[in-house]
Chains A and B, each alone.
Chain A
């Protein structure tokens, strides 16, 4: 569990620093005009709340950061591809609703992930976005793993390319519906088929196709309740020639959380996850995750 301590401490320190920057942004100064990413969403864009383009949650949604907007996220104890163990990501919004992002925390432990997102259909009631990226893991640099995993991982490198299509809709002022379909292509180098049980448990670099439906209830102008479930339809470990599969019962997960605007440009997020993989990562099926997001 010492890896947990290192990750959380790192993320915690980054969070406090990030909070400081956000608080600075929260000083009473004339705010910039809310960037309107969609001229077809007059209601959502007109008010400053968590459904507005400047404040909408880009995690697990079709939406992207407004053009020229930075986003810095710091957190720990996550379970997803992009936020497992620790999260210190930097994202930037480009014109045409394109976003680039990278998790610097993972880069520090031998995992490199860079991604891009494009919110390419933007209508009043229906939005569609696509995300992709490249995950590269160099096992020898993965110092944060437990001794057994470190010994095993030291021999391997892996590459993963996820591609995700996400539909989002805000049918009312208090509800957002999201549905994602994601396929992960993965390849491991240097792995032995004798090790497939450990790879199965950890779900490191799996070939996977899953659906992720979710909903967000905007219970006030500054707080949302977010519920998601990951439903993998196919999961396999790219080890050896037979690519052993992992059953659904070991791969699905549920998460519920709260996201609030703490101050202008500063957002807090606490989640509870229930998942089999959490047992391997953290020693318990029910586990929390937290995140601070700054949009200076």
Chain B
């Protein structure tokens, strides 16, 4: 029911509010169509925003993927996304309360995908798209010269798989059949052993 109402709703920019006669109105602006299917390639950079106690895992870094979706006239959009992050390697030192201190290296990368709900708002010649994504992260990891237990990672095995919720915003520039822009997503990870991350993204693709 909610979905039906959403897709049947009118675009924000296409709803001239019938103001009282005494009020002022803006001059007519050229309409920016929001309806259509878009397929976007994404390239970005991500950084982890948390640590697991003293362990630092960086499963984001350079990222690339795709973002597909369909927008209704109202601006409401349903889409799907997938991106792979190469991650980074972190040399670290662990001071042990029992036994010897030691150096080790933590490697991590991740693959992320899911569905996203969005709403596009006309902003001059751009579209400002609010997004809320729900998806899965598969984080591959390895520790050199140490075991997971020694670095306090518990008994999880690689890859660690968990759900994420990702609010985000994108500023897109539709130009004919093409579309490009910039944006960010914040992957709030639900599983404790996967650090949350901030991903800045460049978009480039087509609108049909």
Q: Does B41 contact A (CB under 8 A)?
A: no
Contact A284 B8 (CB under 8 A): no
| Chain B 1-43 residues near chain A, CB threshold 8 A | 1-13, 15, 17-20, 22-26
Q: How far, in Å, is B52 (CB) from chain A's closest CB?
A: 9
Q: Does A23 contact B (CB under 8 A)?
A: yes
Contact A264 B119 (CB under 8 A): no
Q: Does B138 contact A (CB under 8 A)?
A: no
Complex partner residue of A27 from B3, B9, B130, CB under 8 angstroms: B9
Q: Determine the main DSSP class of A at the interface with B.
A: mixed
Chain A contributes a number of interface residues (CB within 8 A of B) equal to 51
Q: Does B123 contact A (CB under 8 A)?
A: yes
| Chain B 112-148 residues near chain A, CB threshold 8 A | 117, 119, 121-124, 128, 130, 132, 134
- B56-88 interface bits toward A, Cβ cutoff 8 Å, 1 = contact, 0 = none: 000000000000000000111000000000000
Complex partner residue of A5 from B50, B121, B190, B196, CB under 8 angstroms: B190
Q: How far, in Å, is A7 (CB) from chain B's closest CB?
A: 10
Chain B contributes a number of interface residues (CB within 8 A of A) equal to 52
- A12-44 interface bits toward B, Cβ cutoff 8 Å, 1 = contact, 0 = none: 100111011111101110110110000000000
Q: List the one stretch of A56-64, A134-142, A219-227, A230-238 in contact with chain B.
A: A219-227
Cα–Cα distance between A71 and B168 once the two chains are bound (Å): 24
Contact B50 A284 (CB under 8 A): yes
Complex partner residue of A263 from B15, B49, B192, B195, CB under 8 angstroms: B15
User: What are 20 contact pairs spanning A and B, CB under 8 A?
Assistant: A4-B165, A5-B163, A19-B76, A23-B2, A26-B74, A27-B9, A48-B23, A220-B124, A222-B12, A261-B121, A263-B9, A264-B17, A268-B119, A284-B195, A284-B196, A285-B49, A288-B167, A288-B168, A290-B130, A290-B132
Q: Which residues of chain A have a CB within 8 Å of any CB of chain B? A: 1-2, 4-5, 8, 12, 15-17, 19-24, 26-28, 30-31, 33-34, 46-48, 76-77, 219-223, 258, 260-264, 268, 270, 272, 279, 282-290
